[in-house]
A and B are shown apart, each in its own frame.
Chain A
């Protein structure tokens, strides 16, 4: 089965504002879809709908297999060293420590393994969240502004991780208000839906 995520005619209402309606999309293995558009057009809401954290006002959301999510909160315990904070999620995802090692190398975080999460910068925290996503082994990635605060080198690592994930049969739904330079990317302009 190559289909990982399917949204059928979904509508989303936040507060009393209709963000979008009749939106359909499918994400197959190897796909990447960029949700673009200005702030407040529903990029994050669409990601949360896809993740199952929000219920659509109408329409259907079907997910196959596990998903990994990045949103504005890093969900890493601030008082722990980075490595231990990531190990917690590795235990929750029941993946072994080597996957975390490899993912930390991919995002160049190995030198920061012993630094408490509270001391990390915004960009470093986003990289740490990426490590969790990569290490989770989930085929569907939902990334909400994953590159916020990242420098150019970190962005290049993110793009490389997305490419590697797609090559391995994963799919990526990416919300970002600026272009990340991911090659071969489908686009959905949320600004045009409103």
Chain B
């Protein structure tokens, strides 16, 4: 257990210490800033379209850092050293997912508030957005680590990685943005179910991808 905590903190330290963490959050805020310029300052239109935009930006921001989630560890031999010590690949993947969910999800939740303000979201919609994204973060982290593990052998893997997981993330996008629709009352439960499914599958799928890296 001590070892797993050490592993978790290492991932978190590397995410926050290098400053690389601010890139996805900055990207997220940039999209929120640029969108009103493109659509125009019409508040009702912004309010209607902005919520969906927040979801798209959050999804893309989650996929931005996949270059540094697995490949540096593979190149440095850290994954081999862990395997030699008998850590299951699934456990390593689960720790990485947890660290990414905290390391990326926490700042994203904070950035969500200024982003919502820029997109003219009122208090009720901000609450729905925050709830929805909080539900989706474990699944987004799961998908990010999975695609990072799948593409760790390829240079410039993040572009392929994005393509790989985008289809899997689309249901979350639909249900997450659907929560904002007053008539979409079951959307939150469907979002939670989708997120749970992806979060549970993630460590196993990413774990077997990590195992594949050694062959």
Contacts and interface: CB of A to CB of B under 8 A. Distances in A.
B83 A53 contact: yes
B78 interface: yes
Interface in A64-81: 66-69, 71-79
A94 B80 contact: no
B17 A79 contact: yes
A178 B97 CA distance: 43
B76 A91 contact: no
A72 B75 CA distance: 10
Contact of B77 (A52, A55, A71, A94): A71
A61 to B, nearest CB: 13
Interface in B12-45: 14, 17-18
A77 B2 contact: no
B3 A75 contact: no
Contacts of A74: 76-77
Given A73-B75, A74-B77, A79-B17, A92 B84 contact: no
**Of listed A68, A77, A93, A94, residue having the most chain B CB within 10 A:** A77
Given A88-B6, A92-B85, A93-B85, A75 B18 contact: no
A91 B2 contact: yes
Interface residues of A, number: 24
Contacts of A53: 80, 83-84, 214
Contact of A94 (B2, B78, B81): B2
A147 B111 CA distance: 50
Contacts of A77: 10, 14, 76
Interface string B46-87: 000000000000000000000000000001111011111110
Contacts of A73: 75-77, 80
Contacts of A71: 77, 80
Given A51-B84, A66-B85, A88-B6, A72 B214 contact: no
Contacts of A78: 76
A16 to B, nearest CB: 14
B7 interface: yes
B76 A92 contact: no
B207 to A, nearest CB: 15
Nearest to B14: A77
B211 to A, nearest CB: 10
Contact of A52 (B75, B84, B215): B84
A89 B81 contact: yes
A54 interface: yes
Given A88-B6, A94-B2, A67 B76 contact: no
Contacts of B215: 54-55
A60 B170 CA distance: 45
B6 A54 contact: no
Interface of A: 51-55, 66-69, 71-79, 88-89, 91-94
Top 10 A-B pairs, shortest CB-CB distance? A73-B77, A91-B6, A75-B77, A75-B81, A92-B3, A69-B84, A75-B78, A51-B84, A75-B76, A53-B214
Given A51-B84, A55-B215, A79-B18, 18 more contacts: A51-B80, A53-B83, A53-B84, A54-B214, A66-B85, A66-B86, A67-B84, A68-B84, A69-B80, A71-B77, A73-B77, A74-B76, A75-B77, A76-B76, A77-B76, A91-B6, A92-B3, A92-B6
Interface of B: 2-3, 6-7, 10, 14, 17-18, 75-78, 80-86, 214-215
24 contacts: A51-B84, A52-B83, A53-B80, A55-B215, A66-B85, A66-B86, A69-B80, A73-B76, A73-B77, A73-B80, A75-B78, A77-B10, A77-B14, A77-B76, A78-B76, A79-B18, A88-B6, A89-B81, A91-B3, A91-B6, A92-B3, A92-B82, A92-B85, A93-B3
